[in-house]
Amino acid sequence: MERFKAIRGDHVQLEQFLHEMPKGGDLHVHLSGAVYAESYLRWAGDAGLCLVTATLSLARPSCDAAAGKPAASTVSEGSPIYDQVLDAWSMRNWRDGNAARGGRDHFFATFARFNLATGRVGDMLAEAVSRAAAEHDEYVELMLATDGGAAAMRGTAAGWNADFRRMRDRLVANGFNAVLAEARTRLDQAEAREREVLHCGSSDAAPGCAVTVRYISQVYRAGAPEQVFAQMLAGFALASADPRVVSLNLVAPEDDPVSIRDFPQHMRMLEFFHERYPAVPITLHAGELAPGMAPPAALHSHIRDSVRIGHALRIGHGVDVMHERNPTALLRELSARRVLIEIALSSNDVILGISGAAHPLAAYLRYGVPVAIATDDPGVARSSHTREFLRAVEDQGLDYLTIKRLARNSLEFAFADRATKRRLQTQLENHFAAFERQQQNP
């Protein structure tokens, strides 16, 4: 496109162009990481929570300012402590002040600090879809713990049994269906609250109401095997029973010692469940590693195994692909199988320190592996879908036709049902036509 060529060297105009551009969908977003720290702090204040100033973490009442545990509601905007909280709960300024332990550690530490404020799922949904609408996304797949921890508790109660069939039978015999019912009720309540916040269905409905949302069940892979197994069962069963839940994904740092130790077993669990729930599509975080973060062997096969044994149709990140055994053959295999890579450039930069020419995006494109641009944790990373597209152009050198293709990929490879995808794809083409007309006569 002529206008894109004319402005691609102009950061401000390019950002405006990319903001207006239809982006299709965001396929890789963690709901708790999508919310900005400002919202969490406000909700913490509403809930009467306290802030432990020494650790900048939320704590339950009672609060005691004299003992370094003031009420979160007293942390006023613009005060030094307010700024410290925003920095501690996000990647804002981390390179300046909080980088002592590196981006990866700071990133993962944020979640524990604001965790007590993540109970307002409906409000969190409202924030996520409002931002999606503002950025011209029509679709998002949000990762969250759909069951609120109920499945892991059932797993702990059942205890571990390495015979997967017996393990599953024991969970089912002990009333596992109650977990699914609870998860569906939680989603119903969260969506009701979201609609209330956004005034959906009324004449002053917020734009976020028009965004189509699907959920992906998170499985915490650094947990005990019985907890991981039970969460997987919940994810597969929910995705089979509730059209809003489309998939599951393993979360928690891939270089966590437990994640590394149990990786082969997690793949076998996925294979076991895939045989029983073949219609449930799987997406997996894999290859979110940089050399030195984990022993080299951990970088040799996570992507390949996730596809071949874990039956992943999409891979989150895939950053260490060139460190896998025979990477060229793997790239060809990913291309032939049409496995989509969910690319999150800001996240890879702040957590892994990988950007620019060190990022494998160009390799994926060269080998014809489908990719899409995702945000991962836009609240914690203080990023946005527009900023991710901006990085794709400025840091990765992509042209207009390529980023347009990536936007289309984000719907083509979405896990929503076929009819929903068709509707969204038609809508996206209409939006592109209008956008390009408008860009020709700015």
Stretch that binds Zn ion, among 19-27, 45-53, 98-106, 375-383 (CB under 5 A): 375-383
Q: Which is nearer to Zn ion, 26 or 376 (CB)?
A: 376
* β-bridge partners, 240: none
Residue of closest CB approach to Zn ion: 376
- Contact segment (CB under 5 A) with Zn ion among 39-47, 126-134, 318-326, 372-380 equals 372-380
Give the shortest CB-18-to-Zn ion separation in angstroms: 22
> x/- contact string, 125-164, with Zn ion (CB under 5 A)?
----------------------------------------
- Find the part of the chain contacting Zn ion (CB under 5 A) among 150-158, 180-188, 370-378, 389-397: 370-378
Q: Residue 22 or residue 281: which is nearer to Zn ion going by CB?
A: 281
Between 283 and 396, CB nearer to Zn ion:
283
Q: How far is the CB of 439 from Zn ion (least distance, A)?
A: 32
Q: Is 376 a residue that touches Zn ion (CB under 5 A)?
A: yes
Number of residues this chain uses to bind Zn ion (CB under 5 A): 1
Q: Count of residues for the chain?
A: 442
Distance CA 350, CA 91 (A): 8
Closest by Cα among 76, 79, 86, 70 to 37: 86
- CA 274, CA 340: separation in Å to the nearest integer? 19
With CA atoms as reference, report the closest residue to 23 among 439, 432, 440. Answer: 432
- Selected range binding Zn ion among 18-26, 39-47, 273-281, 376-384, rule: CB under 5 A: 376-384
Least distance (Å) from Zn ion to the CB of residue 375? 9
Whichever of 14 and 109 has its CB closer to Zn ion, that residue is: 109
Should residue 123 be labelled a site residue for Zn ion when binding is judged by CB under 5 A? no
The first and second tokens of residue 325, run together, are 């055994």
CB of 273 to Zn ion, least distance (A): 21
- Please say which residue, 87 or 376, places its beta carbon nearer to Zn ion: 376
Token pair belonging to 315: 């891979």
Question: Of 57 and 375, which has the nearer Cβ to Zn ion?
Answer: 375
Q: Which of 230, 315, 323 is nearest to 281 (CA)?
A: 315
Using CB atoms within 10 Å of the CB of residue 366, give its burial: 0 to 12 exposed, 13 to 18 middle, 19+ buried: exposed
Sign for the CA dihedral angle at 422, 425, 429, 435 comes to: positive
Closer of 142 and 197 to Zn ion (Cβ): 142
* CB 28, min distance to Zn ion, A: 6
> Exposure pattern of 312-341 as b/e (b: 16+ CB <10 Å)?
bbbbbbbbbbebbeebeebbebbeeeebbb
Q: Which residue lies nearer to Zn ion by CB, 194 or 376? A: 376
| Footprint on residues 202-241 left by Zn ion (CB under 5 A) | none
Distances in Å between the alpha carbon of 41 and those of 38, 49, 58, 85, 129? 5, 9, 9, 8, 20
Alpha-carbon separation of residue 229 from 226, 335, 362 (angstroms): 5, 30, 36
Q: Shortest distance, CB of residue 388 to Zn ion, whole angstroms?
A: 13
**What span, in angstroms and rounded, lies between the C-alpha atoms of 105 and 88?**
11
Residue 226 C-beta: closest distance to Zn ion, Å: 24
Q: Which is closer to Zn ion, CB of 63 or CB of 348?
A: 348
Query: Under the criterion CB under 5 A, does residue 254 sit at the interface with Zn ion?
Result: no
- Tell the smallest beta-carbon distance from residue 53 to Zn ion (Å): 30
Cβ closer to Zn ion: 36 or 107? 107
* Nearest-10 crossing angle of helices 150-158, 164-173: 110
- Applying CB under 5 A, the span of 37-45, 124-132, 255-263, 373-381 interacting with Zn ion comes to 373-381
**Cis bond upstream, residue 62 (ω within 30):** yes
Min dist. Cβ of residue 342 to Zn ion (A): 8
CA neighbor of 26 nearest in space, from 379, 393, 279:
379
Chain residues binding Zn ion by CB under 5 A are 376
